[in-house]
C-alpha cells in the first residue's frame, strides 16, 4: 500500500455520550478492549465533564482507570477545563482533548461562554498537559454548519484554528458537527484552515447525517489530511446539536481507505464484529 491513514476511534466518548439508556461501565471497558484488539491505536476513551450535562459520561474516572492498557495504544479524554484535565490526568489519560467552536452561538450554548473565553479556559489545561508531557487535541465544532447560525464561513474556522495552534494544541480536529457538509464546502473550509496550520496538524471529524461523510473525508484527504475520526457502529452525535445524530462508522472509514489501497493498520473483520457487539449491547440496554 502506497500511503497510510491514522483513524482515531471516538466511539467510547462521542459515540456513547448521547445514549438515552445507560451503558454499563463493564461494557464500555469491554468495547475499548475490543477496539484495541482490532488495531485502533488512538481511542478517545471518555469525557471528564459534569454528569449533570452529560450523564452517560458520569463513570469517566472508573472507565479511564479501568482500561486494560495496551502497548502502542493511546487512551485520551475530552476535558472542558482545568478541573477536568486534573482529574483525567490523575486517572491515567495519555492525551487530552479540548473543544470550542467556529460559531459563537454554538459555543455559548455548549460551553456557556464565548469562543475567546473558551480559549482562555484552555490555558491552564495546556500548562497541566505540558507538565505531564501529554499531547492536546483541539476540536473546532460547527466547522461547516451551526444549528443556530447556519453555514459557517471558512475564515471563521481558520481563525479558531490559529487560536488553538497558538495555544499549543498538537492537533486540531475540524468537525462537521451537524453532518450537513458537502465535499465542495469541506474543501473550502480545509483550504482556509491550511492557511493557518500545516496538514500534519489537522484532522477531520465528519458526521454522516446527510450521507456525505465519506465524500467529505475524500475531499479533505486530497488536501493532505491524514487523520480522521470514526465511531464504531456509527454510534453517537452531539447532545447540543439538534440533528447531529450519526457519527461516521469506523468500519465504513476503514473500508473506504482499504478500497483505495491505503493502509489503516486495522483488522476490519474484528472491527465489524465489535460494531455488531456494541450495537447488540446498546439494543439490550434500551430494550
Catalytic residues, by residue number, are 238
Distance CA 45, CA 1 (A): 29
Give the CA dihedral 169, 171, 177, 183, nearest 10 degrees: 140
Rama region for 43: left / alpha / beta (φ>0; ψ in -120 to 50; rest)? beta
**Is 193 in contact with 202 (CB distance < 8 Å)?**
yes
Residue 131 belongs to what H/E stretch? helix 115-132
Q: Report the C-alpha gap between 237 and 245 in whole angstroms.
A: 4
Q: Which residues of 253-272 are buried (b: 16+ CB within 10 A; e: fewer)?
A: bbbbbeeeebebebeeeebb
- Measured CA to CA, the distance from residue 10 to residue 44 in angstroms comes to 5
First to last CA, the chain: 43
145: left (phi over 0), alpha (psi -120 to 50) or beta: beta
- Residue 248 C-alpha cell reads as 461516521
CB distance 199 to 164 below 8 Å = no
Amino acid at each position: 500500500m502506497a500511503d497510510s491513514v491514522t483513524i482515531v476511534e471516538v466511539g467510547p466518548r462521542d459515540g456513547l455520550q448521547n445514549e438515552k439508556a445507560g451503558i454499563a461501565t463493564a461494557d464500555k471497558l469491554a468495547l475499548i478492549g475490543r477496539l484495541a484488539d482490532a488495531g485502533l491505536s488512538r481511542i478517545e476513551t471518555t469525557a471528564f465533564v459534569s454528569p449533570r450535562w452529560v450523564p452517560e459520561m458520569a463513570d469517566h474516572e472508573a472507565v479511564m482507570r479501568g482500561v486494560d492498557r495496551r502497548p502502542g495504544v493511546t487512551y485520551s479524554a475530552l476535558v472542558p477545563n482545568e478541573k477536568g484535565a486534573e482529574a483525567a490526568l490523575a486517572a491515567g489519560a495519555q492525551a487530552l482533548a479540548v473543544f470550542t467552536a467556529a460559531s459563537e452561538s454554538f459555543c455559548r450554548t455548549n460551553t456557556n461562554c464565548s469562543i475567546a473565553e473558551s480559549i482562555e479556559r484552555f490555558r491552564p489545561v495546556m500548562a497541566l498537559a505540558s507538565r505531564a508531557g501529554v499531547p492536546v487535541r483541539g476540536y473546532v465544532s460547527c466547522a461547516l454548519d451551526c444549528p443556530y447560525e447556519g453555514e459557517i464561513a471558512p475564515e471563521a474556522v481558520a481563525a479558531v484554528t490559529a487560536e488553538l495552534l497558538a495555544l499549543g494544541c498538537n492537533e486540531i480536529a475540524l468537525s462537521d458537527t451537524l453532518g450537513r457538509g458537502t465535499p465542495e464546502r469541506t474543501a473550502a473550509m480545509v483550504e482556509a484552515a491550511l492557511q493557518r496550520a500545516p496538514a500534519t496538524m489537522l484532522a477531520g471529524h465528519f458526521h454522516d447525517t446527510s450521507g456525505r461523510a465519506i465524500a467529505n473525508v475524500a475531499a479533505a484527504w486530497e488536501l493532505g489530511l491524514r487523520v480522521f475520526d470514526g465511531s464504531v457502529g456509527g454510534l453517537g452525535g452531539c447532545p447540543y446539536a439538534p440533528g447531529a445524530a450519526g457519527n461516521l462508522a469506523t468500519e465504513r472509514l476503514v473500508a473506504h481507505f482499504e478500497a483505495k489501497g491505503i493502509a489503516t493498520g486495522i483488522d476490519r473483520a474484528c472491527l465489524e464484529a465489535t460494531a455488531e457487539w456494541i450495537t447488540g449491547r446498546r439494543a439490550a440496554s434500551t430494550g
